[in-house]
């Protein structure tokens, strides 16, 4: 593409919507991360990983599945799980069905840490997102999020 005629430039209303979303994409994760680190000494990504494990049977998941759940690369997940292991919140072990696969499991201490962190995290989510919207806007937010996720990950079920 060499000419401006081939670029679908954003119209003013499209640009305004994009800039609002872009600002949100930068600011909201930072606000959630700050609250979790301040109150629970966890990053938002660590919290997501632990939550993903807590919602799984036996509080364990294959590392590849956990990476998909947390929207992180396997490399990033491995580093985070290693940090959580050092703190006694997670253990890694070979999968019982296939020893070549690594499974991460939430320990009892990790579960207690997550349970202690959850009220503050939920309060922050409520403050920054849920309470800022009326019920119709929440429905719209879900529909918009689902639609964008479908574009990014067509195989994802919403």
Query: Rg of the chain's alpha carbons, rounded to an integer?
Result: 19
Q: Does any domain span residue 136? A: no
Compute the mean pLDDT over every residue in the chain, rounded to the nearest whole number: 93
Q: Does any domain span residue 90? A: yes
Q: Does any domain span residue 155? A: no
Domain coverage including residue 79: 39-119
Q: Does any domain span residue 112? A: yes
Residues 90-108 as b or e (16 or more Cβ within 10 Å = b): beeeeeeeeeeebbbebbe
Q: Does any domain span residue 70? A: yes
pLDDT tops 60 at residue 158: no
pTM for the complete prediction? 0.85
Q: Does any domain span residue 139? A: no
Structural domain total, the chain: 1
Sequence-ordered strand ranges (E) for the chain:
60-62, 90-94, 102-106
Q: Does any domain span residue 51? A: yes
Band the pLDDT of 72: cuts 50, 70, 90.
confident
Whichever domain contains 64, its CATH number is 1.10.10.10
Neighbours of 89 (CB within 10 A): 23
Give pLDDT tens digits for 40-64: 999 999 999 999 999 998 999 999 9
Residues in a beta bridge with 91: 105
Nearest partner of 105 among 128, 84, 119, 122, judged by Cα: 84
Tell me which of 140 and 97 has the higher pLDDT: 140
User: What pLDDT does residue 47 have?
Assistant: 97
Q: Does any domain span residue 62? A: yes
């Amino acid at each position: 593409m060499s000419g401006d005629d081939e670029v679908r430039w954003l119209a003013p209303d499209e640009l305004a919507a994009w800039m609002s979303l872009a600002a949100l994409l930068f600011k909201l994760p930072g606000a959630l991360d700050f609250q979790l680190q301040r109150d629970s000494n966890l990053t938002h990504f660590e919290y997501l990983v632990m939550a993903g494990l807590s919602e799984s049977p036996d509080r364990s998941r294959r590392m590849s599945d956990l990476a998909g759940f947390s929207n992180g690369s396997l490399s990033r997940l491995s580093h985070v799980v290693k940090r959580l292991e050092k703190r006694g919140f997670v253990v890694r072990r070979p999968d019982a069905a296939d020893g070549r696969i690594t499974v991460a499991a939430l320990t009892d201490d990790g579960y207690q840490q997550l349970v202690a962190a959850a009220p503050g995290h939920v309060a922050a989510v409520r403050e920054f997102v849920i309470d800022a919207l009326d019920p119709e806007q929440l429905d719209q937010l879900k529909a918009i999020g689902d639609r964008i996720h479908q574009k990014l990950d067509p195989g994802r079920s919403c």
